[in-house]
């Protein structure tokens, strides 16, 4: 039954995703809050809304410090909004998806009619350090200039768990071993991710979501970028298969089968059905159901799976009902594990335009990208339902089912 309080996705935009590289990354000299602020304005312009018609802004970053401190209050102010209710959100890699979920709940409970929600991260400025087997995490923290050094985790945590085991790369290695996911299977998934992302870029399928932004070429020249930096048209299976393991000498995960660290922002515009109809704005999709779940912190790459189980149970739907499925490729083993554990074998419906192995994973933004990309691909395919799901640090997972208005 339709309701005036249904939460509708009426807009979605993101920046190109640049490599997190202090020497060659597109956005190495751009603050992440400066990446995000123009997205707010463009989304409102697209919908014919004024800034004073927004009931709230919910934004997040995985490390909310420095240029990323208080994003939901600082960025609207930076973008020239009048006094606006802001809520800054952090839930590891699920951050931006959680922001969208909270905005939907605000609409459905009558707190407001229009919300901007998403996230951002500069992983050039707040990079994830390489954590290998046998390392002493105190040495990694002391290195400085990384997410871990900025977090400064409580040493008491180390009495409960080996902190090395909380790292995503170590978790991916354990998941691949536990489920028997072979190196070759992950290598071929990463290759397909690049091939799909390159095809999508060439076909213009990201044109409706990417807002071109100024940055620097690898040579240091100013330029406007309207494409993601990560997808590699020249990669081959042989190149990927030749790479050495990253996290352990005898491991299975390489740089190709890990997500590309990236800089970027992604934001969704949500409105109640009542407000969207008054504006005459056709919705991209309706937020049909949301689900959150947690698993063991050391099994973090698995966490999208229990979240998906929960959202399917709540919705009464099955994976076979989903015309499009976006599973965040934190590592190539994540979507492979998803298919195995949930008994789904149609890989053509999963990440059809490539995933984070190719596009990149700016950790505070990816959750909103997954939702927006899913909605746009649903429209292209004429799909009734779509699923976006993402794993997160400390075993935090989130999932979203979208429905078209057919």
**Alpha helices, H only, 130-244:** 137-143, 147-151, 157-160, 168-179, 183-202, 237-241
Of 63, 182, 179, the closest CA to residue 128 belongs to: 63
How many Å separate Cα 286 from the centre of its chain? 19
Evaluated on CA atoms 274, 109, 396, 99, the torsion sign reads: positive
Q: How far is CA 363 from CA 46, 142, 167, in A?
A: 26, 22, 14
CA distance 6 to 288: 9
- Identified catalytic residue from 93, 106, 333, 357: 93
CA distance 89 to 70: 9
- Identified catalytic residue from 101, 194, 288, 361: 361
- Identified catalytic residue from 268, 295, 357, 391: 391
Q: Does 268 qualify as catalytic in the annotation?
A: no
Asked if residue 398 lies in contact with residue 291, where contact means CB atoms within 8 angstroms, the answer is yes
Q: Does 93 qualify as catalytic in the annotation?
A: yes
Q: Does 361 qualify as catalytic in the annotation?
A: yes
Q: How far is CA 215 from CA 38, 219, 288, in A?
A: 14, 11, 37
Tell me how many degrees the CA angle 276-280-284 measures, rounded to the nearest 5.
60
Q: Which residues are catalytic?
A: 93, 361, 391
């Amino acid at each position: 039954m339709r309701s005036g309080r249904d939460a509708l996705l009426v807009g979605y935009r993101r920046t190109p995703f640049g490599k997190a590289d202090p020497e060659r990354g597109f956005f190495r000299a751009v603050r992440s809050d400066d990446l995000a602020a123009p997205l707010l304005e463009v989304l409102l312009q697209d919908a014919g809304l004024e800034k004073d018609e927004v009931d709230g802004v919910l934004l997040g970053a995985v490390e909310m410090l420095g240029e990323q401190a208080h994003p939901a209050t600082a960025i609207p102010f930076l973008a020239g909004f009048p006094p606006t209710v802001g809520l800054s959100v952090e839930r590891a890699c699920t951050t931006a998806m959680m922001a969208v979920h909270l905005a939907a709940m605000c609409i459905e409970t009558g707190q407001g009619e229009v919300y901007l929600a998403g996230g951002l991260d500069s992983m050039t400025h707040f990079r994830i350090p390489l954590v290998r087997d046998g390392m002493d995490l105190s040495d990694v923290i002391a290195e400085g200039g990384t997410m871990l050094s900025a977090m400064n985790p409580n040493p008491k945590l180390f009495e409960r768990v080996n902190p090395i085991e909380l790292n995503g790369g170590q978790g991916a290695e354990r998941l691949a071993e536990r489920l028997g996911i072979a190196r070759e299977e992950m290598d071929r998934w990463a290759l397909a991710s690049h091939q799909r992302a390159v095809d999508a870029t060439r076909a213009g399928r990201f044109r409706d979501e990417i807002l071109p932004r100024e940055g620097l070429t690898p040579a240091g020249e100013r330029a406007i970028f309207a494409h993601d930096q990560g997808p590699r048209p020249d990669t081959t299976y042989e190149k990927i298969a030749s790479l050495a393991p990253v996290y352990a000498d005898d491991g299975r995960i390489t740089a190709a089968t890990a997500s590309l660290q990236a800089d970027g922002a992604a934001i969704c515009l949500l409105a109640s059905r009542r407000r969207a109809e008054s504006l005459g704005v056709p919705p991209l999709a309706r937020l049909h159901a949301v689900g959150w779940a947690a698993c063991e912190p050391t099994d973090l790459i698995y966490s999208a799976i229990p979240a998906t189980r929960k959202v399917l149970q709540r919705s009464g739907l099955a994976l076979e009902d989903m015309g499009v499925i976006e599973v965040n490729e934190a590592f190539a083993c994540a979507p492979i594990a998803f298919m195995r554990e949930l008994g789904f074998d149609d890989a053509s419906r999963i990440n059809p335009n490539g995933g984070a192995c190719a596009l990149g994973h700016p950790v505070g933004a990816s959750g909103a990208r997954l939702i927006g990309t899913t909605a746009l691909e649903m429209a292209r395919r004429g799909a009734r339902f779509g699923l976006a799901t993402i794993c997160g640090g400390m075993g935090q997972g989130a999932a979203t089912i979208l429905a078209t208005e057919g």
